Structure 1
Amino acid sequence: MKARYQYRFYPTSQQQQSLAQLFGCVRVVYNDALAICKQSQKKPKSAELQKIVITQAKKTEERAWLAEVSAIPLQQSVADLEAAFKNFFESCKSKRKGRKVGYPKFKKRTNSQSARLTRGGFSIKGDGVYLAKIGIVKPIWSRELPSDPSSVTVIKDCANRYLLSFVVEIQPNRVDAKDQSIGIDLGIKTFAVMSDGTSAQSPSYKKLDRKIRKLQRKLARQPKDSKRRNKTRIQIAKLHNQIADTRKDFLHKLSTKVVSENQTIVLEDLNVSGMVKNRKIARAISLQGWREFRVLCEAKSEKLGREFVIISRWEPTSQTCSDCGYKWGKIDLSVRSILCLNCGTEHDRDENASVNIEKVGLGPRHDSKCTSRQSKTTGRSVRQ
């Protein structure tokens, strides 16, 4: 299976100029190819686009500077556009899972910049990495590469950080788990409540989020293309990166712990896109990173040979007693503790849901559905 290993590096001033030229050429080739596709009645093939926007363009006075950079990232830029169109067409035909993919857009100078080089455009030499027509850059090797990389992507994010992202082939490492299974209920105040009784609190992003909102109001008042507006934009990008790095560190540590200790991991399929339509909780949900946690758990489960299960979002996990299977129905979100009239057990709302998630994910409900259902719930059965 393939994996990405990412490292930060600090280029010299000369290398920064060369990288800026490379990013600009990649962006221009992509935008030129996209403009041709928009003007054409039928989308040209990738080989035809490469011939027009790279080979023939280098012979013109307007695009002669394309010859000053390596041709490999320019070819990969056209390949990226081809992949974007493929995802768009498959999404239109409902052949692609997930939300609808929009029509490809033009790249902007102020967004994150990237250029991908395949094996012919880079090589690892000792502690450095040679990039074609750029020179040797020295990344901070925080960990060793497990195998020879097939490609490397040079990235400059919105906060002007430079990164090298390698694609390598790794072998699944199957290790025996300490526990058999676990169900996880995701939330806002408490990020994750496990069926074994433990829970995980996410870091607080409120202070950084307030700074971002203050700077965004300042940005809206500043004139476009001004130096002060650009300075404010970079400040906002750095704060966003700080939140993203904090969240990523927390999610990586939690997902590693969960996957390494359990053989079967069960999560609920949450309708996040529908939840964020509620303006009162949209910002809080977006900061949590539920989808990112699910992706990390799924990838690490595949790597360690674990079973990863997603149950339907329509399962009444918060409406059913995890002990006897009695269904009491919908209750308000403010109610955090519930007393079951059928068996007399008092449940914490999130812990009860996590246990039910585990049971549904494992299959049979151990006759919990066959319990008595003659009694009816009343207002007394719910405690706040």
Structure 2
Amino acid sequence: MKARYQFRFYPTNQQQQSLSRLFGCVRVVWNDALALCKQSEKKPKSAELQKIVITQAKQTEERAWLSEVSSIPLQQSVADLETAFKNFFESCKGKRKGRKVGYPRFKKRTNSQSARLTRNGFSIKGDGVYLAKIGVVQPIWSRQLPSDPSSATIIKDCANRYFLSFVVEINPDIVEAKNHSIGIDLGIKTFAVMSDGTSAQSPSYKQLDRKIRKLQRKLARQPKDSKRRNKTRIQIAKLHNQIADTRKDFLHKLSTKIVNDNQVIVLEDLNVFGMVKNRKLSRAISQQGWYEFRALCEAKSEKFGREFRVISRWEPTSQICSDCGFRWGKLDLKIRSVQCLNCGTEHDRDENAAKNINKVGIGHFHDYKRTQREDKTTCGTSR
């Protein structure tokens, strides 16, 4: 199976200029091809787009500078646009799983930049990587590549950091799991509560978020296209990256531990899109990264031979006793513990939901309708 390995590198001043020229050419080719697709009644094929926006454009005075960079990333830019249109059409027809994919958009200079190279455009020479018409860069090798990469993507994010991302073929070592199954209930204050009684606290982003909001107010007062505004924009991007890196590190470590220890991982299908409409909780929910955690668990389960299951969002996991199956109904979010009226067991709200998620996922759920019918509360008559 294929995996992606990403490493940071620090280019020289001359290499930064060459990379800026490369990113600009890739962005222009993408935008020209997308504009041509919007003007045409029928979308042109990829080969026809490459001929118009690359081969013929190089012969004009307006786009003659496209010859200064390698043609490989320019061709890959058109190929990536073809893939974006394919994903959009399949999403409209319902053939693509996951979220709906929007129509391809034009690339901006202030957004993150990228350029993809195939095997003819790069080569690994010792500790360095040769990039066509750029030179040899020195990535920080935090781990060894398991095989020869099939492609390399040069990335520059909004905070002016440079990365090399390689696609390689891997053969993962499958380790026997310690536990059979585990149910996970996701939350805000406590990120995840597991059915085995353990929990995971997410990092706090309040301090960084407070700095971001302060800088965003400062950015709104500054005139557009000014040097001070651009400096503030980079400061905001660095803080956003710091939050994203902290969250990514936490989610990777947690998902790896869960997948290594359990054979079956069960999660609940949360309606995140509807939950973020709550003005009081939208910021906290967006910072948790529930969907990213689910995607990591699913990908790592496939990688290590585990089974990943998602139960329906309509399962009343927080309304049922995990011991006897008695259903007590809906509870307010401020109620964190509940005592069952039937068996008298006192449950932590999140841990009880995690146990019910695990039972639904492995198919051993209580018949709560029968339990509720047998132990139905009756009202006494007054005399």
TM-score of the two chains, using structure 2 as the length reference = 0.96
Q: What letter is aligned with 2:11?
A: P
User: Counterpart in 2 of 1:27?
Assistant: 27
Structure 1 segment 234-273 matched on structure 2, within 5 A: 234-273=234-273
Whether contact under 8 Å (1:341, 1:377) holds in the other structure is: no
Does the 8 Å contact 1:6/1:166 carry over to 2? yes
* C-alpha deviation, 1:281, in angstroms: 0.5
Tell me the alpha carbon deviations over residues 176-235 of structure 1, each in whole angstroms, 9 at most, x when there is no partner.
011111110000000000000010000100000000011111111111111000000000
Distance in 2 of aligned mates of 1:134 and 1:377: 77
Task: Give the superposed CA RMSD.
Answer: 1.3
Offset, 1:252: 0.9
Aligned mates of 1:301, 1:268 — CA distance in 2: 16
Moved more, 289-298 or 153-162: 289-298
Distance 1:233 1:277, change over 3 A: same
Matched, 1:225 2:219: no
Deviation at 1:323, TM superposition (A): 0.3
Number of the residue aligned with 2:16: 16
Residue of structure 2 equivalent to 1:279: 279
1:68 equivalenced with 2:68 (yes/no): yes
Instruction: For 1:377 and 1:42, locate their aligned partners in 2 and report how far apart those are by CA, in whole Å.
Output: 67
8 Å Cα contact 2:325/2:366 also seen in 1? no
Measured in 2, the distance between the counterparts of 1:100 and 1:290 equals 18
Equivalent residue letter for 2:224: K
For residue 186 of structure 1, what is the aligned residue in structure 2?
Answer: 186
Q: Report 1:210-359 matches (<5 A).
A: 210-359=210-359
* TM alignment of 1:93-112, pairs within 5 A: 93-112=93-112
- CA deviation string 1:50-84 (max 9, x = no partner): 00000000111111110110001000100111111
Distance in 2 between residues matched to 1:181 and 1:83, nearest whole Å: 37
CA offset at residue 367 of structure 1? 5.7
Does the alignment pair 1:149 with 2:155?
no
Could you give the per-residue CA deviations for residues 103-132 of structure 1, whole angstroms, max 9, x where no partner exists? Answer: 211100000000000011001000000100
Asked if 1 retains the 8 angstrom alpha-carbon contact of 2:77 and 2:115, the reply is yes
**Map of 1:196 onto structure 2:** 196
User: Structure 1 CA distance, aligned partners of 2:209 and 2:306?
Assistant: 36
Query: Counterpart of 2:373 in 1: which secondary structure?
Result: coil
Please tell me the residue identity of whatever aligns with 1:107.
Answer: K
Matches within 5 A, 1:88-127: 88-127=88-127
Which letter does structure 1 place at the counterpart of 2:311? I
Contact 1:301 1:307 in 2 (8 A): yes
CA apart distance, 1:160? 0.2
- 4+ residue runs of structure 1 moved beyond 6 angstroms? none
TM-score, length-scaled by structure 1 = 0.96
Cα distance, 1:89–1:377 mapped onto 2, change above 3 Å: farther
Residues in 1 aligned to 2:200 and 2:52: alpha-carbon distance in whole angstroms: 54
Judging changes above 3 Å, is the alpha-carbon distance between structure 1 residues 58 and 348 closer, same or farther for their aligned structure 2 residues? Answer: same
The CA distance in 2 between the partners of 1:249 and 1:99, in whole Å, is: 24
Give the gaps of 5 or more residues in structure 2: 379-383
Query: Partners of 2:359 and 2:52 in 1: how far apart?
Result: 58
- 2:129 maps to which residue? 129
The answer (yes or no) to whether the contact 2:326–2:371 under 8 Å persists in 1 is yes
* Larger deviation, residues 323-332 vs 22-31: 323-332
- How far apart are residue 101 of structure 1 and its match? 2.0
Deviations 1:228-250 (A, max 9, x none): 00000000000000001111111
